[in-house]
Amino acid sequence: MMAFAGAVNVSVAQTVLYHAGKSTFDAHCAVCHQAGGIGQDGLAPPLTGYPGKYAGVAAGRQQLTVTVLHGMFGEIRVNDKTYNFRMPSFASMSDEELAQVLNYVVFDLNAQHANAKPFTASDLKTARGQELDGSAVHARRALLTKRLGL
């Protein structure tokens, strides 16, 4: 039994490409989005599907970066479930930390991420120049999901 458990842990570790992002996610994001980004009904949506779809288009990439930087609040629908939560701003984190978190979410938690390229600290630095609040981020998301048919 012990050998089997060890083999499972090694296998799981091999699937994580962005270890720094996972560590940051586990410390700051998993409290609401849960371990592995599975979400929490009524509070925080799962991050195992739509971020991968967003990351393949410019507007989606921008949405992901402004969401982690500025937070978001208001009612949203994901996978036919409604969430009404207030995601905090993580602007106090470094651009590199946030890029790594987004890469963990997009590439490690999402099986499908089309032709998405990894996020860089430069992507976050650019997004910092956009002065938005959580309400504006929410409004942008509504337009994006309509456009992408999500």
Q: For residue range 62-77, list pLDDT tens digits in order.
A: 999 999 999 999 999 9
Instruction: State how far the Cα of 22 lies from the Cα of 47, in Å rounded to an integer.
Output: 13
Span 95-144, pLDDT tens digits: 999 999 999 999 999 988 878 999 999 999 999 988 899 999 999 999 99
- Residues 6 or more apart in contact with residue 120 via CB below 8 angstroms: 99
Q: Quick one: pLDDT at residue 92?
A: 97
Q: Which residues contact 103 (CB under 8 A, 6 or more apart)?
A: 17, 18, 21, 118, 119
Architecture of domain 2-148: Orthogonal Bundle (1.10)
Q: Tell me the domain boundaries of the chain.
A: 2-148
> How far is the C-alpha of 146 from the C-alpha of 92, rounded, in Å?
30
Question: Residue type for 137, please?
Answer: V
The whole model's pTM is what?
A: 0.87
Contacts of 127 (CB under 8 A, 6+ apart): 62, 65, 66, 69
Question: Contact, 44 vs 71, CB < 8 A?
Answer: no
Is the pLDDT assigned to residue 9 strictly greater than 50? Answer: no
Given a cut of 60, whether residue 5 has pLDDT beyond it is no
The residue to which tokens 């992002």 are assigned: 21
C-alpha span between 52 and 60 (Å, rounded)? 9
Q: pLDDT per residue over 31-57, tens digit each?
A: 999 999 999 998 999 999 889 989 999
